[in-house]
Amino acid sequence: MGRLIKEILADILTRDELKDVISGFDVIGDIAIVKIPDTLLPKKELIAQTLLKNVKNIKAVFRQASPIYGEYRLMELEYLAGENRTYTEHKESGCRFLLDIQKVYFSPRLSGERLRIANLVKDDEVVVNMFAGVGTFSIIIAKQVKTSFNYAIDVNPYAYEMILRNAFINKVDDRVIALLGDAGRAIESRLLSSADRVLMPFPERALDYFPYAVKALKEEGGTIHLYLHVKSKPVNDVIEETLPKLSNPTKLKIDSINGKVVREVGPKIDQVVLDINLT
């Protein structure tokens, strides 16, 4: 997609301008969201109309007008071109996801990571996603691993509704259980010592909620996938710096940690995942 967009906008932007726009371009369903630096704001409608005209699967273009903010991880959006709607259907890994991009956080750039996690899940695993959004991780896992059982937790009422709907339309509602509320409280009240695997795809909250993730693991242990935003550096350095910050209120001990860079999220800022095995 990046190369295609580069070719489409090459006639209206300079090389430096093009680089700035490409780095902030996402397609969710049939809606494009583009980050446009202040220097290019006078060309925002031209950029939007050019994308709309040349990318046939795009029916609406919005500008991300604010950083991601708040407990629900939302962003302000400015309508630029096409159909003035924020509701769409996104397809990924053979699954369909209905969502309103203005009401819930969703990143298409995590598609490879979601598939990686699904490929790690074994038969009969119980998986808890502490920050589930519209249920993407959980539903893809349930679709791929027919005997898995998945709890999808989110504090956003709209996200909760979309987990229910998306699980139903993907025919996995018998194995994806949506829970509305704070992830820590949900684990304390319903999911203690229940999980083989816990997902924590909320980098800003991951370290604070790590003790709850450990409590969710079965007594014999399991795996926690911890996502962080860090300054770009070798992953081994990230592991070394993170280990002292991992509060563990249980008898489980960390057996091994592996890490990888998931994506770049800003200038010299990476999203990394730490796969933490406890026994």
Domain boundaries, the chain: 2-85, 105-278
105-278: CATH topology is Rossmann fold (3.40.50)
**pLDDT tens, position by position, 69-102:** 999 999 999 999 999 999 999 999 999 999 999 9
What pLDDT, on the 0 to 100 scale, is given for residue 268?
92
Mean pLDDT by groups of 10 residues along the chain of 279 residues: 74 81 85 91 92 91 94 96 98 98 97 98 98 98 98 98 98 98 98 98 97 98 98 96 95 96 92 98
Residues contacting residue 131 through CB under 8 Å, at least 6 positions apart? 153, 154, 183, 199, 200, 201, 202, 205
What pLDDT, on the 0 to 100 scale, is given for residue 2?
62
Domains 2-85 and 105-278 share a fold: no
| The model's pTM | 0.93
Residue range 2-85 in CATH 3.30.110.30: no
